[in-house]
Amino acid sequence: MSGLFQVPWSDYRPDLVDALWRTVSYTAVSFVGAVLLGLAVALLRLSKAWPARAVAAVYTEVFKNVPLLAIIFLTYFGLASADIRLDVFTAGCLSLVVFYAAYLSEIFRSAISGVHAGQTEAGEALGLGRAGIFGHIVLPQAVRQALPGTNTMLVDLLKSTSLLVTVSAAELMSEGRLITSATFRALEVYLVISAIYFALCYPLSQLLLLLERKVRAGIPLSPWRRRRLKAARALLAPAVEADMKAGAV
């Protein structure tokens, strides 16, 4: 163990920082794309038109039951053999998007279905259209239910960027492989790379857990909603105070 830490890490610091930035970039872009595609697929699964439901079901089942590594190979190498050449960043993000969108669509579908039908009826009674009911009534409640599963998928997606080493995507694991090839210190290098992944994933998971707790507690997350809640409390304060005094009498 005395000879474990012998890699000149200062020489590789710029490359590691760049690889870290690429890992975060892959994660952010892929997660946004997976959320949007997953929501679209979930809405298709809930559609009244059976062809839309069938297409969404086929998509979900295919990408849930094909390994992510196979999807990466198909996207980067397979499409290239069909004269569709994607750069490594686009291919990597596309692979992650289509894979995780399948899982997120199931999470979103379950969350949307979990909103009681009476909520929709109440919206219709208020004269809201379908878009208004979904955006103002169904979606906020569905987000609360979908948040735990979505957060888990985000952390898992971050870890799965390491599989892009197979296409030399210049993310953390690819940089670790290059450093290993130059120094022949595999144990030390991959211990450090694993520690970096842990330093990324653990704080992220804790922050997401804190977000879940705030949402469950009904704490407004946006400043706009907090201002509206504060104004509503200020308007209701005199009435509450009057009721308390009346009760005391």
The per-residue pLDDT for range 65-86, each reduced to its tens digit, is 999 999 999 999 999 998 899 9
Helix axes 88-113, 9-45, angle to 10 degrees: 40
Q: Which residue has the higher pLDDT, 237 or 149?
A: 149
How far is residue 155's CA from residue 20's CA, in Å, rounded to a whole number?
A: 15
* For range 185-193, the mean pLDDT: 92
Radius of gyration of the chain (CA): 24
Residue (of 99, 102, 100, 72) closest to 88 by Cα position: 72
Minimum mean pLDDT range among 51-65, 97-111, 216-230: 216-230
Handedness of CA 117, 123, 129, 134 (dihedral sign): negative
Which pLDDT value is given to residue 114?
83
User: What type of residue sits at position 171?
Assistant: E
pLDDT, averaged across the chain: 87
Tens of pLDDT, residues 7-42: 888 899 999 999 999 999 999 999 999 999 999 999
How far is residue 164's CA from residue 172's CA, in Å, rounded to a whole number?
A: 9
Tens of pLDDT, residues 154-169: 999 999 999 999 998 9
Full 3-state SS string of 165-190: HHHCCCCHHHHHHHHHHHHCCHHHHH
Which pLDDT value is given to residue 130?
73
How far is residue 69's CA from residue 148's CA, in Å, rounded to a whole number?
A: 25
Give the count of beta carbons closer than 10 Å to the beta carbon of residue 184. Answer: 9
Confidence of residue 243 (pLDDT cuts 50, 70, 90): low
Which pLDDT value is given to residue 153?
96
Give the count of beta carbons closer than 10 Å to the beta carbon of residue 130. Answer: 11
Q: Which residue has the higher pLDDT, 230 or 39?
A: 39
Q: Structure pTM?
A: 0.86
Tell me: pLDDT of 118 over 80.
no
